[in-house]
Structure 1
Amino acid sequence: MGYILNILTIGSVKMDDKAYTPDEVAKIFQISKHTVYELIKRGELQAFKIGNKMRIEHSELERFKEITKAPSRKTRTEQTDSIHHLTEPIRLSGSHDFLVERFIKQATSLQLHIQPSYVGSLEGLMMLYRNHCDIAAIHLLDPLSQEYNLPFIHQLFVHESISVVRFAAREQGFIVAKGNPKQIQDFNDLTRKDIQFINRQKGAGTRFLLDSKLSQKGIDPKNINGYANEEWNHLSTASYISKGRADVAFGIKSAASHLGLDFIPVAKEHFDLVFRFTDEKKQSLKELITYLQSKDFKKSLIDLEGYSIEDLGKIIYQY
């Protein structure tokens, strides 16, 4: 029997819907923890991943129970083909983004299964370099050239067959409580003794941009309360502000909008998808790029506060 769950992303998890750890899943289905990890490793049991933590949504566990209750009416050949398709997902690693979530969800209409791992831009690009994923989602600012993404790509990918596709431009800035009660306006305010900051993890594109700005302004991170406190995605970082656990975060405008927070713009950045072609995935990746460039996908993107998709689907580098 194939234990198959659809892949989930952090944005698809409802705030009031419990997400289970592999240990908890093992207890629910009365199997060993080792079995759960083996099923995940083989792609038969899918989980969304943030950093190095895996979670499975409650509603998906309920659906899984229903699937395992009754025998499938499919022929053995159909079952084998279906399992083979789902155990060979397209692996996407890198930065977390709400539009990426939407892209992953809509890719199912192409009968393509994308498995995301939100580990930050730098780690996502390194995973692509090591052939541990097929797509890297990145927004890395080179501090010397002040150019996004391509300087890193040129250093890593010399002979590999890749395409860099522009996904969106995003607004980055300060996320603060409604009404900006601490009157935070610029980077110098981060060093105030009455300000508590929440940071993104090392390797995140947002962290690259923040550190570049601090360096330009001669600000020592040691003087920022909370600089060492790290979170792994935009929404969880912004939640520190909404819950009153921090006064300011540095992140994207859409995260502030999701939680009804105020936003002070600082910079616009380029968010790109890097596709690495292999014989096994080449056709599927080409289909994804074609869909990215389609009018249908562009029309599906609504509520784009904090984004610009003027160059969506544009190939900015190809080898």
Structure 2
Amino acid sequence: MDNNALNAQEVANILKIAKNTVYELVKRGELNSYKVGRKIRFTLNDVEEYISGSKSIKHKIIATKDEVIGNNNIQVTPELNNRGFVICGQDLMLDILSSYVEQYTQGIPALRSYIGSYNSLTALYQGSIQVASAHLWDGDTGEYNVPYVRRLVPGIPTVIIHLTCRMQGFYVKKGNPKNIKSWEDFRRPDITMINREKGSGSRVLLDEHLRLLGISSSLINGYNRENQSHLTVASTIARGGADVAVGNEKIASQVEGIEFIPLQKERYDLVFKKEDINTPGIQAILQILRSDEFKMEFEGIGGYDISEIGNIVAEI
């Protein structure tokens, strides 16, 4: 992708925050910008630098969804628990869900923690959050999420609710110049990748396939080069900074110069403790997911299969 100018609303759309928050980030010196006359403009590099920089900060508490975005290293503390209802995960659906929860509960703060699937489940186990999200594939069983909930939330009765199905695959440069088609291509010495962070669903998916194929990660060029955003890894591929990355289809459609190679349909689920099922926040989520109003939010958005949304996947 080139560095064409972005306006404040376009940056807000990328970061999934309010437009006014963009201006506040500029004012605080956290987001670079430049002026064209009286108008503020941004480059994609400015946005990527903000995302990368924010992820290196250890926040004591998480902010509301309009105060911080994309921070996978947020540390949830007891103080946060007293501030409201916390939903973990990185997908746009969860931002919209949080907004609905506040409306349905008439003001209970629905806070967002932008951490990956693995850390999301461990935070649920530790009692720091109320709702975890996960898209973790187990190569031995072929199942999503259930095996990981058993391992990471042991001894605690839980309920898994389905949110959506998404397509996972490879980001490659337009035209696929290296002719990358399958997981087996990671054996090739001429392939360089950029990876997602440990514990993310995309990283677990990659590692499980490498394990099943007997491919040593130490032999893969770029395996240890990590980034915590689908957007930035896709942008890296578009700029020629690597040949391949693992990610979901929706982001590929948002980055110019990227081609998506579909490989596997994943299940994206929500997890909460069974003891919390009658709390206002969980009851609101169950009603929202099964409402026509919420489903209509995603009818015009590609990349989501919501045909099973709200169904109970398992009670563990």
Shorter-chain TM-score category?
A: 0.7 to 0.9
1:92 aligns with 2:97: no
Partner residue, 1:102: 96
Aligned-residue offset at 1:293? 1.1
Partner residue, 2:144: 148
Partner residue, 2:279: 282
Deviations 1:12-53 (A, max 9, x none): 377x9477499858xxxxxxxxxxx9x974969953351226
Aligned-residue offset at 1:222? 1.6
Alpha-carbon separation, structure 2, partners of 1:128 and 1:226: 32
Alpha-carbon separation, structure 2, partners of 1:182 and 1:113: 48
Rg (Cα) greater in structure: 1
Alpha-carbon separation, structure 2, partners of 1:253 and 1:124: 22
Alpha-carbon separation, structure 1, partners of 2:307 and 2:190: 40
Q: Contact (CA 8 Å) 2:87, 2:98: kept in 1 or not?
A: no
2:297 to 295, 300, 309: 300
1:186 aligns with 2:182: yes
Q: Contact (CA 8 Å) 1:176, 1:263: kept in 2 or not?
A: yes
1:316 aligns with 2:313: yes
Q: List runs of 5+ in structure 2 lacking aligned partners.
A: 1-12, 31-56, 76-80
Q: Contact (CA 8 Å) 1:142, 1:148: kept in 2 or not?
A: yes
Change (3 A) 1:10 1:116: farther
Q: Which amino acid aligns with 1:217?
A: L
Decide which moves more: 230-239 or 291-300.
Answer: 230-239
Alpha-carbon separation, structure 2, partners of 1:119 and 1:256: 21
Alpha-carbon separation, structure 2, partners of 1:41 and 1:22: 21
Give secondary structure in 1 for the equivalent of 2:203: helix
Q: Contact (CA 8 Å) 1:43, 1:88: kept in 2 or not?
A: no
**Number of residue pairs aligned between Structure 1 and Structure 2:** 267
Alpha-carbon separation, structure 2, partners of 1:223 and 1:22: 44
Deviations 1:194-234 (A, max 9, x none): 32211111111111111111122222212211110111122
1:1-319 → structure 2 map (5 Å cutoff): 10-12=15-17, 17=22, 20=25, 41=61, 46-52=67-73, 88-94=83-89, 96-110=90-104, 111-157=107-153, 160=156, 162-260=158-256, 261-276=258-273, 282-318=279-315
Change (3 A) 1:232 1:13: farther
Q: List runs of 5+ in structure 1 lacking aligned partners.
A: 1-7, 26-36, 55-85
Q: Which amino acid aligns with 2:245?
A: A
Alpha-carbon separation, structure 1, partners of 2:184 and 2:72: 30
Change (3 A) 1:245 1:105: farther
Q: Percent identity?
A: 32
Partner residue, 2:42: none
Q: Contact (CA 8 Å) 2:277, 2:283: kept in 1 or not?
A: no
Give secondary structure in 2 for the equivalent of 1:48: coil
RMSD: 3.4
Alpha-carbon separation, structure 2, partners of 1:219 and 1:247: 18
Deviations 1:39-98 (A, max 9, x none): 9749699533512269xxxxxxxxxxxxxxxxxxxxxxxxxxxxxxx962211224x223
Q: TM-score, normalised by structure 1?
A: 0.72
Change (3 A) 1:87 1:302: farther
Alpha-carbon separation, structure 2, partners of 1:149 and 1:127: 15
Q: TM-score, normalised by structure 2?
A: 0.73
Decide which moves more: 297-306 or 266-275.
Answer: 297-306
Q: Which amino acid aligns with 1:91?
A: V
Aligned-residue offset at 1:145? 1.4
Alpha-carbon separation, structure 2, partners of 1:144 and 1:43: 38
Q: Which amino acid aligns with 2:227?
A: E
Q: Contact (CA 8 Å) 1:277, 1:285: kept in 2 or not?
A: no
Alpha-carbon separation, structure 2, partners of 1:87 and 1:113: 10
Change (3 A) 1:107 1:88: same
Aligned-residue offset at 1:112? 4.2
